[in-house]
């Protein structure tokens, strides 16, 4: 995953916030993903309004030391087609 690229939630993905984070359901692939914390949900929500994944981390206020963990989570979401790269 290119952290300097612009990303967005895939248009076929539905998000259901939950106390633990959120459930993501992809209507095209019929896959279900769990976001295990609210900060990750905020990050995914911020992707569409940010120029890059790094900018989304800035917007949400994720400390630099914590970013590798969140970027790995985004890479997993990319691999399962929950998020996709978009034009900046």
Q: What does the pLDDT read at residue 72?
A: 96
Q: Which fold has domain 6-83?
A: Outer Surface Protein A; domain 3 (3.90.930)
pLDDT > 90? residue 1: no
The residues spanned by each domain of the chain are: 6-83
**Helix pair 53-60, 38-47: axis angle to 10 deg:** 130
Q: What is the pLDDT of residues 41-71, one digit of tens each?
A: 999 999 999 999 999 999 999 999 999 999 9
Q: What is the DSSP string of 43-79?
A: HHHHHTTSSSHHHHHHHHT--GGGHHHHHHHHHHHHH
């Amino acid at each position: 995953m290119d952290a300097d690229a612009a990303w967005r939630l895939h248009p076929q993905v539905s998000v259901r916030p939950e106390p633990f984070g959120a459930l993501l359901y992809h209507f095209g692939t019929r896959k279900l993903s769990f976001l295990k914390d609210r900060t990750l949900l905020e990050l995914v929500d911020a992707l569409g309004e940010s120029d890059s994944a790094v900018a989304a981390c800035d917007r949400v206020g994720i400390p630099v030391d914590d970013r590798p963990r969140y970027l790995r989570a985004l890479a997993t979401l990319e691999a399962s087609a929950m998020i996709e790269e978009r034009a900046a």
